A and B are shown apart, each in its own frame.
Chain A
Amino acid sequence: DAGVIQSPRHEVTEMGQEVTLRCKPISGHNSLFWYRQTMMRGLELLIYFNNNVPIDDSGMPEDRFSAKMPNASFSTLKIQPSEPRDSAVYFCASSGRTSGASYEQYFGPGTRLTVT
């Protein structure tokens, strides 16, 4: 398996522009998570999906952020309009039911977003 795939790996954009981050989870996993990591705030859970349905989006900073999961193999995180304070590394992770229901998560390589 290729693991969790994220694109792009790096994104540099200007303030006010729309940014779309993409994620392909591990095949067979039914939970998908979006995280943001910064030096100041550490690793923050933004939103997660079970069986393509958003379960908890309480971590989404504000209405400028939106996430979708149209099918089991694809998810997007969109920021519109982007602001410099959105600069961070965004991780996607997936998990699935394993023996004993441990639900360990598998992380993608992340997208480093820089908003100027």
Chain B
Amino acid sequence: SQQGEEDPQALSIQEGENATMNCSYKTSINNLQWYRQNSGRGLVHLILIRSNEREKHSGRLRVTLDTSKKSSSLLITASRAADTASYFCATARFTGSARQLTFGSGTQLTVLP
């Protein structure tokens, strides 16, 4: 099964509300990354949190990581219609020359104007 699993699969909120997406994973990690994908486009890196960090902020984004529960959350505050996209978590477990990420199945966020 996939390393990262997002929850919920789909989320619909009103503009101005906060959106919270969760990600669970199974093995130890070096870092966890969140990506965004607009319809018909490639994924774009949003924010990264290392395994020794618990919380990180970037603009309206807040990421938390709980390595004991093997879970992370992405909070988007004061959402805008332009935040409508799919959001993916990706776990990094670098061993030897391995540099790949394992992506989850994504959360489809719809922000209604």
23 contacts between A and B (CB under 8 A): A42-B105, A42-B106, A43-B88, A43-B103, A45-B102, A48-B99, A48-B100, A55-B98, A91-B42, A91-B43, A93-B42, A101-B30, A102-B33, A102-B48, A102-B50, A104-B45, A104-B48, A105-B90, A106-B45, A107-B43, A107-B44, A108-B42, A110-B42
Name the distance in Å between B4's Cβ and chain A's nearest Cβ.
10
How many Å lie between the Cα of A95 and that of B94 in the bound state? 13
Smallest CB gap from A92: residue in B: B42
Smallest CB gap from B97: residue in A: A50
> Max chain A CB contacts within 10 Å: which of B48, B99, B102, B106?
B99
What chain B residues lie within 8 Å of A108 (beta carbons)?
A: 42
Q: Is the interface of B mostly helix, strand, loop or mixed?
A: strand
Residues of chain B from 78 to 113 with CB closer than 8 A to chain A in the complex = 88, 90, 92, 94, 97-103, 105-106
Evaluate contact between A55 and B97: CB separation under 8 angstroms: yes
Name the distance in Å between A112's Cβ and chain B's nearest Cβ.
8
Bits for A87-116, please: 1 = Cβ < 8 Å to B, else 0: 000010101000011111111111000000
Residue in contact with A31 in the complex, picked from B30, B31, B99, CB distance below 8 Å: B99
Interface size class of A (residues with CB under 8 A): 20 to 34
Mark B residues whose CB is within 8 Å of A. 2, 30-31, 33, 41-45, 48, 50, 88, 90, 92, 94, 97-103, 105-106
Evaluate contact between A103 and B92: CB separation under 8 angstroms: yes
Q: Is the interface of A mostly helix, strand, loop or mixed?
A: strand
Evaluate contact between A50 and B99: CB separation under 8 angstroms: yes
Residues of chain A from 19 to 66 with CB closer than 8 A to chain B in the complex = 31, 33, 42-43, 45, 48, 50, 55-56
Indicate whether A103 sits within 8 Å of B99 (C-beta atoms), given known contacts A42-B105, A42-B106, A43-B88.
yes
Evaluate contact between A102 and B31: CB separation under 8 angstroms: yes
> Max chain A CB contacts within 10 Å: which of B43, B44, B97?
B43
How many Å lie between the Cα of A56 and that of B99 in the bound state? 10
What chain A residues lie within 8 Å of B103 (beta carbons)?
A: 42-43, 45
